[in-house]
Amino acid sequence: MKKFMVFAAILLLASCAGKKEVKQYTIDQFYRNVAISFSDFSPDEAKILVSSNETGIYNVFEINLADASKRQVTNSATESFFALGYVEGTGQVLYSADKGGNENSHIYLLSEDGSSADLTPGDAVKASFNGFSTDKKIMYFISNKRDPQFFDLYKMNVGEWKEEMIWENREGLDYAGATRDRSIIAAVKAITTSETKLFLTNLSTGLTAEVSEPEKPGAYSASGFTNDNAGFFYTTDEGREFAYLVRYDMATGKREVVYETNWDVTGSWLSRNEKYRIIGINEDGRIQLKITDLSTGEAVKYPELPGASINGLSISDSEKYMLLNLGTSKTPGDLYLYEFGGTTLKKLTDNLNPEINPSDLVEAIVVRYPSFDGLEIPAIYYKPVTATKKDKVPALIWVHGGPGGQTMSYYNPIIQYLVNHGYAVLGVNNRGSSGYGKSFYKMDDRNHGDNDLKDCIWGKKWLQAQDYIDTAKIGIIGGSYGGFMTMAAMTSAPGEFKVGVNLFGVTNWLRTLKSIPPYWASFRDALYTEMGDPFTADSVRLYNISPLFHGGNVKNPVMILQGSNDPRVLQVESDEMVEAIKAAGVPVEYVIFPDEGHGFVKKENEIKAYSQILGFLDKYLKGDGEED
């Protein structure tokens, strides 16, 4: 078979309506799609600031709302620049960037003359923008400058740009928000990965109070304050299977359930003047938004696009406009402007490469199947248009990151690329995944690489039951924790999957848990509770589940992709895993990116990575291991 010769071939597919032509697209065509994210409305609400990768790397752009014209603001060719916001009263903007994916992001000030200044310098410093004061004269940010393990809250007066610490995080908490005047700080302490405690600190009095109820443990997350500092919102799953929204009265401590449903409430937000409330719900692999006009109590109705889901939303300070990022599993998100009270959406971007016809791509669907013990496993499924009982296709189990992540029904270019080239993909939300209740979420604690892996194997069995799947040609692929699951499959169940593709996955839990980034310190104990403590007797189990120490078990071809600057999964892990597979005499392909971290951001690297993945799959999964 040809590796890349068939990219532009036309496939004929019989259907009840006759024959349909399905075009295959190259990886270059897929990556001429644009990914974009909104940052800020301009002070006069005539423009918006966005981050876009249309140059091949993320840069800052400005979009004029009147005519949707776009202006490039930054011109980086080496590091991704992400928009943060306008500096009111000036022609300046703020953006963030790290170095080669090392995750030590800094905040930069871009002046009108094109010069940039690093406002948060330091080799080991990580800083995150935390917004402006109501009058826009103060910029807030959190940083681990004082102690690499903990993040403190700072302010800078606009124009002076001299930092001043306003909250020192001596307790090792996670900053979780503040009142608009930053007089009250919300912070979270992780007890386990499924249990947190929530605190409020009054900076005027120095007093800290616990909002979470000690006798009622659960996951507590901050979700903002009212403008008058009288009310605080949080989500919790205490006493329930799914998270719900609660209002906490700051004066009396009274609690009121604001909203709950049979899915997790992910959070809530109030518009600038509290005219609108937005509530997010993680509903079966998609985030749904409930928008309420608080002046009337009525749901906000706005024009909807058929089949589209909301990837993001923001309301302007004047509360006149709503900016939405709308997309489908077949198309990347585009930005739309809605004026409250209107009847139309104004499209501001066209991020799908015009060479790609969405009808050639596949809509993701939610499926469920029983695992080895009867537990129902939810999954996101992509079936190639070309798959028939006569023309069977190979398939892949896709495993998300985490632990505790979730595969959702959103546009994923690598999945669509693989499906477009004839691979069915089943995105398994194995036990331990978020979004399906706290009982499901806890099911893989101290059981990683065991029952959660069996969920993936039973996903393979579900695929094999479909009459259009080539049952002998099923592989497994995943990134980060999904990469670990891939390698766990190839070492502990070596006969199950014909190939494995590991993107920057953990292979030595002992090393990973001992070398986590210092700014994960507040989360470390919770992670140890779930995974095991490498400094205790847990090290025996961690050794046993680490694929590196069982590389001799690998029987089938493996591909490993790794960023050299990855602070979470060190390159040495992948180096050693590759050597262990080679020593077993099994084919292994290794792709290293010297300018990437935990995930690939630059388009040229994504194109190289994903085209080589397809080549590997075409050779070892679809084919017989021989080059044509």
Query: Does residue 353 surpass a pLDDT of 80?
Result: yes
pLDDT for 1 = 36
Question: If you ran DSSP here, which 8-state letter would residue 9 be given?
Answer: P
What distance in Å separates the CA atoms of residue 503 and residue 557, rounded to the nearest whole number? Answer: 14
What distance in Å separates the CA atoms of residue 150 and residue 381, rounded to the nearest whole number? Answer: 40
Least confident interval from 176-190, 449-463, 563-577? 563-577
Whether the ω angle into residue 384 lies within 30 degrees of 0, i.e. cis, is: no
Q: For the chain, give every domain's residue range.
A: 364-508+553-622
Query: Does residue 562 surpass a pLDDT of 60?
Result: yes
Pair type for strands 424-428 and 393-399? parallel
Question: What are the tokens at 507?
Answer: 């292979």
Measured on CA atoms in the order 583, 588, 593, 597, is the torsion positive or negative? Answer: negative
Q: What is the pLDDT of residues 393-419, one digit of tens each?
A: 999 999 999 888 999 999 999 999 999
CB-based contact 415:422 (threshold 8 Å): no
> Letter for the amino acid at 175?
Y
**Residue burial 59-96, b: 16+ Cβ < 10 Å; e: rest:** bbbbbebeeeebeebbeeeebbbbbbbbbeeeebbbbb
Q: How far is CA 551 from CA 495, 579, 620, in A?
A: 14, 9, 19
> Letter for the amino acid at 624?
D
> Letter for the amino acid at 131?
G
- Under the banding of pLDDT at 50, 70 and 90, the label for residue 338 is very high
Query: Does residue 520 surpass a pLDDT of 80?
Result: no
**Cβ atoms < 10 Å from Cβ of 349:** 20
> Letter for the amino acid at 397?
I
What distance in Å separates the CA atoms of residue 453 and residue 489, rounded to the nearest whole number? Answer: 7
CA end-to-end distance (rounded Å), the chain: 6
pLDDT for 20 = 54
pLDDT for 474 = 98
pTM: 0.90
What distance in Å separates the CA atoms of residue 63 and residue 70, rounded to the nearest whole number? Answer: 4
Question: If you ran DSSP here, which 8-state letter would residue 28 be given?
Answer: H
What distance in Å separates the CA atoms of residue 198 and residue 148, rounded to the nearest whole number? Answer: 22
What distance in Å separates the CA atoms of residue 483 and residue 90, rounded to the nearest whole number? Answer: 46
Question: Residue 35, class by beta-carbon neighbours within 10 Å (0-12 exposed, 13-18 middle, 19+ buried)?
Answer: middle
What distance in Å separates the CA atoms of residue 281 and residue 273, rounded to the nearest whole number? Answer: 23
- Under the banding of pLDDT at 50, 70 and 90, the label for residue 19 is very low
> Letter for the amino acid at 376?
E
Q: Whose CA is closest to 581, among 589, 592, 569?
A: 589
Three-state DSSP class for 557? coil
Q: How far is CA 61 from CA 82, 112, 132, 326, 603, in A?
A: 9, 14, 20, 19, 17
Q: What is the pLDDT of residues 479-502, one digit of tens each?
A: 999 999 999 999 999 999 999 999
Strand intervals (E) in 179-319:
184-192, 195-202, 208-210, 220-225, 231-236, 244-249, 255-259, 264-270, 276-283, 286-293, 298-299, 309-315
Which CATH superfamily includes the segment(s) 364-508+553-622?
Alpha/Beta hydrolase fold, catalytic domain (3.40.50.1820)
Q: What is the pLDDT of residues 142-191, one digit of tens each?
A: 999 999 989 999 999 999 999 999 999 988 899 999 999 999 999 999 88
